[in-house]
Amino acid sequence: GESVGLHLPTLSVQEGDNSIINCAYSNSASDYFIWYKQESGKGPQFIIDIRSNMDKRQGQRVTVLLNKTVKHLSLQIAATQPGDSAVYFCAENVGGNKLVFGAGTILRVKS
């Protein structure tokens, strides 16, 4: 069935360190993946996306890696800042319309 899951529910990192958030997906037919950041009381905020014809994509301080062989997605945040503290969701675009979200990983940045 369709499901997207995360390995680690909570990640604590020291300010300035790099963060890596992982995600496993199960629908091998999915061809579009997105990472969202959600702060308390707010809606999900788009961070970065990647299509299945790529294995890496970089943005400002963030990199998404896609490994289709093992159906694994990761989000790397460089030089993590206190403002990065939030819940991070990976999402899988299924059938051109709906997104299937994982349960989320809490990122806590310690100053």
Binding site for other proteins (CB under 8 A): 4, 32, 34, 36, 42-46, 49, 89, 91, 93, 95-104
CB of 21 to other proteins, least distance (A): 14
Nearest distance, CB of residue 93 and other proteins, angstroms: 6
Is the CB of 80 or the CB of 93 nearer to other proteins? 93
Question: At 77, which helix (H) or strand (E)?
Answer: strand 72-77
- Three-state SS for 63? strand
Residue 62 near residue 47, CB atoms below 8 Å? yes
CB nearer to other proteins: pick between 104 and 107: 104
Q: Are 56 and 72 in contact (CB under 8 A)?
A: no
Smallest gap, in angstroms, from Cβ of residue 16 to other proteins? 28
Both structure tokens of 108: 């806590």
Decide whether 63 or 101 has the Cβ nearer to other proteins.
101
User: What one-letter code names the amino acid at 56?
Assistant: K
